[in-house]
Amino acid sequence: MSWTRAIAIGALGLATLGGPVTAQEADTGFERHLFPPDLVMRHQQAIDLADAQRDQVSQAIQELQADVQQLQWDMSAAAEQLTALVSETAVDKSAVLSQVDRVLDIERQIKRAHITMLVEVKNALTAEQQSKLRGLRSEPTPE
C-alpha cells in the first residue's frame, strides 16, 4: 500500500467510534486517561450511566461525525492530488511538500476533533464512573 493511501486510510479511520483509542489499546500515553464511547456504552449499566450522560455521549459522537465527514472527503481529494504529483516522471519537490502539508493539516484536524470528542465523553462522567471504567477496561473482553 502506498504511503499516501496509508495516510488517507489512517486519517479516515480516526472518525470511527472507537477511533484510534479502543478499550484494548488505551493503556499507553494520554489515551489511558480518556474513555472511548464504545467502552462507556458497553458498560453503561455497570457505571450507572444516567440518561442525560448518555445523551451527552451521543451528542459528542454526532458532533464528531458531522465535523469529520467533510474532512474525510477533503483528505481523500488531497491524497489523490498528492498521488498525482508523485506519479510524474520528474517530481516537483516544492509542490509535493506543499501537498503533504495539506494532507497532514487535514489529518491534524481529524485527530483534534476526535480528541475533543473523547474529552467531552470524559467530562460527562463522574469521578466514580471514571474509576469503574478504568477497572472495567483492564478486564478481558468476552469473545
Residue-wise pLDDT for 100-113, tens only, equals 999 999 999 999 99
Range from 7-16, 21-30, 77-86, 132-141 carrying the lowest mean pLDDT: 7-16
Q: Taking a C-beta distance cutoff of 8 angstroms, is the pair 43, 136 a contact?
A: yes
CA dist 7 → 35, 48, 50 (Å): 25, 39, 38
Note the pLDDT of residue 138: 76
Alpha carbons 4 and 10: distance in angstroms, whole number: 10
Average pLDDT, rounded, for the chain: 84
Domain chopping of the chain, boundaries:
3-136
Q: Distance between the two ends of the chain, CA-based, in angstroms?
A: 30
Which amino acid would we find at residue 74? D
Q: Within the chain, where are the H helices? A: 3-13, 37-42, 51-86, 93-123, 127-138
